[in-house]
């Protein structure tokens, strides 16, 4: 097990509710997933199949299923979990065959297409969800699941933001403390104090740091910044969204159901040029080193990288790293004067193919209840969308010795950016991914991103 710093966690703040949300791109469907796992339900007269993709969340949702079945003995909840890549492939195939689940964990890049194809039931058609109240959740999460027809298609499930994981021992060896990672600033011209820290934490094979004379950028054993890849499959959620957004850049012309992207904006170009420019400086691994499936968690665990930006949904993975005195640091403040994170919200949707719409709706209503979301929060895995569930998660993480305020402060202070919720999610991902990969490799520049933006625009013509 990991070695975590067990200093008392700071008193958690109640999160304000505000508009934001995000999602990974559907181009990530090509990622390899693990085999599915089915959890038998009870002996109810009606069986409701519920699918999700996160294995670490399975215990929390099984606890919800057990509580639901105790209150509804005539309904049997059967949970099936698949890995991310397998999940969407199997879900699509099952829907085509007319044999999909009754209820499933949904993603913002997928649900616009689901809505347009008529494969989701709007909540107002079932009694159990007809009185849905978006005010029960962190502000704005419910609106993300409101279709262009004004009807609700998803029950807010959880949310996430981005922060930076690090090893206290690595900082100590560099003559630094966790406090040295607070209050950093960043800009795309010289990287600010954030780049100074990244440089100092980079070490070559001779033990020379990137902040010292004689550093060899072609022979590095520890990079200052871990790599999560180019980020094309998820609009750079963990890789660069927090950099570009901190310049004031936004993805689209409208927060939800937009039809115009801004990848031709110089601010995102400059942000990406700075990030990928760290490779030549020896401060971040190259594309060739990390490959097409980079693992920033393992880069931190192996000592190959000192700072590892990642999403709050990965906290549990970092706590499992052996020999790591784990810490979480805030993102650096950008030109707008403060840090900015993408804010992602998942949901649970009801399939139009269900043979039991009312019972499926009862299960979805329970998934969005305070009771269920507190049970999920108590697992210390994700931040549930219900404020009470969020507070339960903050407390659970604190009991594990993890101060999660660098994640939750961003929501408290409304320093977030909305991920684009639009049609053509998979097509946009297929356009962006190769261009961003090429920029990371060094075989393309920002002009290629402008051209990609033009191709995206044509999708909406």
pLDDT, tens digit, 9 for 90 and up, residues 383-409: 999 999 999 999 999 999 999 999 999
- Together in a domain, 172 and 308: yes
DSSP 8-state code for residue 126: S
Reported as a single tens digit per residue, the pLDDT across 318-372 is 999 999 999 999 999 999 999 999 988 899 999 999 999 999 999 999 999 999 9
Inter-axis angle of helices 266-281 and 446-459, nearest 10: 140
Whether 8 maps to a domain, the answer reads no
Find, among 348, 89, 109, the residue nearest to 237 by Cα: 109
Does 168 lie in the same domain as 308? yes
Place of tokens 């890789």: 239
Which range of residues forms the domain containing residue 59? 19-160+346-413
Residues 84-113 have a mean pLDDT of: 92
Joined together, the tokens standing for residue 149 give 């027809």
Q: Which domain CATH number covers 355?
A: 3.40.190.10
269: helix, coil or strand?
helix
H/E stretch holding 310 reads strand 305-311
- Rounded Cα–Cα distance for residues 359 and 74 (Å): 10
- Mean pLDDT (the chain) is 90
Say if residue 167 is in the same domain as residue 286: yes
Q: How far apart are CA 187 and CA 27, in angstroms?
A: 29
Q: Which of 413, 431, 446 is the last residue of a domain?
A: 413
Compute the Cα dihedral for 120, 125, 128, 131 and give only its sign.
Answer: positive
Q: What is the pTM of this model?
A: 0.87
| 359 and 452 in a common domain | no
Residue 1 placed within a domain: no
Q: Is it the case that residue 135 has pLDDT exceeding 90? A: yes
For residues 181 and 43, the model is more confident at 181
CA-CA distance, 132 to 143, in Å (whole number)?
Answer: 12
Q: Are residues 399 and 257 in the same domain?
A: no
| Displacement of CA 450 from its chain's centroid (Å) | 25
My answer on whether 300 and 335 are in the same domain is yes
pLDDT at res. 344: 85
Q: 117: Cβ–Cβ under 8 A, 6 or more apart, which residues?
A: none
Average pLDDT over residues 311-316: 94
Q: Within this chain, do residues 352 and 337 fall inside the same structural domain, yes or no?
A: no
- Phi then psi for residue 252, to 5 deg, are -135, 170
The DSSP element (H or E) to which 349 belongs, if any, is strand 341-350
Are 32 and 73 found together in one domain? yes
Distance between CA atoms of 101 and 189, rounded to whole angstroms? Answer: 50
DSSP reduced 3-state for 121: coil
pLDDT band, residue 41 (cuts 50/70/90): low
Q: How confident is the model at residue 255 (pLDDT cuts 50, 70, 90)?
A: confident
Are 135 and 188 found together in one domain? no
d(CA 406, CA 117): 39
Q: Where are the alpha helices (DSSP H) in 146-291?
A: 168-173, 192-201, 241-245, 266-281, 287-290
The structure tokens listed for 318 are 């970092």
> C-alpha dihedral over 265, 269, 274, 277, to 10 degrees?
180
> Which of the 8 DSSP states describes residue 222?
E
**Residue 225 placed within a domain:** yes
**Is 192 domain-assigned?**
yes
User: Any idea of the CA torsion for 237, 239, 241, 244, to the nearest 10 degrees?
Assistant: -170
Tell me which residue of 281, 288, 268, 277 sits closest to 447, measured CA to CA.
268
The answer to whether position 194 is within a domain reads yes
The neighbour count for residue 323, using CB atoms within 10 Å, is 11
Q: What percentage of the chain reaches a pLDDT higher than 90?
A: 81
- Domain co-membership, 50 together with 135: yes
Whole-angstrom distance, CA of residue 241 vs CA of residue 367: 30
Taking a C-beta distance cutoff of 8 angstroms, is the pair 58, 64 a contact?
Answer: no
382: Cα separation from own chain's centroid = 10
Q: Does 179 reside within a domain?
A: yes
**How many structural domains is the chain composed of?**
2
For residue 18, is pLDDT > 50?
no
Q: Is the pLDDT of residue 234 over 90?
A: no
Q: What is the pLDDT of residue 11?
A: 29
Q: How far apart are the first and last CA of the chain?
A: 53
Which position has the token pair 């499933």? 104
Same domain? For 236 and 253 the reply is: yes
**pLDDT band for position 85 (cuts 50, 70, 90):** confident
Residue 33 pLDDT level (bands cut at 50, 70, 90)? very low
Residues 255 and 360 in one domain: no
User: In the numeric block, which tokens belong to residue 108?
Assistant: 């913002």
């Amino acid at each position: 097990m990991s070695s975590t710093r067990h200093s008392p966690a700071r008193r958690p703040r109640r999160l304000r509710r505000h508009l934001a949300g995000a999602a990974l791109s559907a181009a990530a469907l090509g990622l390899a997933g693990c085999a599915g796992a089915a959890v038998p339900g009870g002996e109810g007269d009606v069986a409701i199949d519920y699918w999700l993709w996160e294995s670490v969340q399975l215990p929390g949702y099984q606890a919800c299923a057990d509580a639901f079945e105790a209150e509804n003995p005539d309904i049997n909840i059967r949970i099936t979990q698949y890995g991310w890549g397998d999940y969407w492939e199997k879900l699509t195939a099952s829907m085509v065959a007319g044999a999909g689940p009754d209820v499933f964990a949904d993603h913002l890049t997928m649900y616009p297409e689901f809505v347009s194809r008529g494969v989701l039931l709007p909540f107002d058609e079932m009694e159990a969800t007809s009185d849905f109240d978006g005010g029960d959740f962190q502000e704005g999460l419910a609106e993300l699941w409101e279709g262009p027809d004004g009807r609700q298609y998803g029950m807010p499930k959880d949310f996430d933001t981005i922060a930076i994981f690090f090893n206290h021992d690595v900082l100590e060896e560099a003559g630094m403390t966790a406090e040295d990672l607070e209050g950093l600033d960043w800009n795309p011209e010289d990287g600010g104090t954030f780049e100074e820290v990244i440089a100092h934490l980079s070490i070559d094979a001779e033990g020379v740091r990137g902040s010292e004379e004689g550093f060899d950028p072609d022979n590095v054993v520890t990079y200052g910044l871990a790599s999560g890849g180019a980020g094309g499959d998820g609009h750079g959620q963990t890789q660069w969204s927090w950099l570009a957004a901190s310049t004031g850049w936004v993805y689209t012309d409208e927060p939800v159901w937009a039809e115009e992207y801004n990848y031709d904006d110089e601010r995102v170009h400059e942000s990406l040029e700075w990030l990928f420019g760290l490779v030549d400086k020896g401060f971040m691994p190259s594309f060739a080193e990390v490959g097409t499936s980079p693992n920033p968690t393992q880069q931190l665990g192996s000592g190959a990288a000192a700072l590892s930006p990642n999403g709050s949904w990965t906290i549990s993975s970092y706590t499992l790293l052996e020999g790591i005195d784990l810490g979480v640091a805030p993102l650096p403040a950008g030109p707008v004067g403060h840090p900015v994170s993408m804010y992602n919200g998942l949901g649970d949707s009801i399939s139009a193919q269900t043979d039991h719409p009312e019972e499926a709706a009862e299960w979805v209503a329970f998934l969005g209840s305070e009771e269920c979301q507190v049970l999920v929060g108590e697992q210390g895995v994700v931040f549930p969308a219900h404020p009470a569930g969020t507070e339960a998660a903050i407390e659970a993480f604190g009991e594990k010795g993890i101060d999660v305020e660098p994640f939750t402060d961003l929501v408290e202070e409304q320093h977030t950016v909305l991920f684009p919720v639009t049609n053509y999610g998979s097509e946009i991902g297929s356009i962006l991914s190769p261009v961003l990969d090429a920029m990371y490799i060094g075989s393309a520049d920002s002009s290629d991103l402008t051209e990609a933006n033009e191709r995206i625009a044509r999708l909406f013509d």
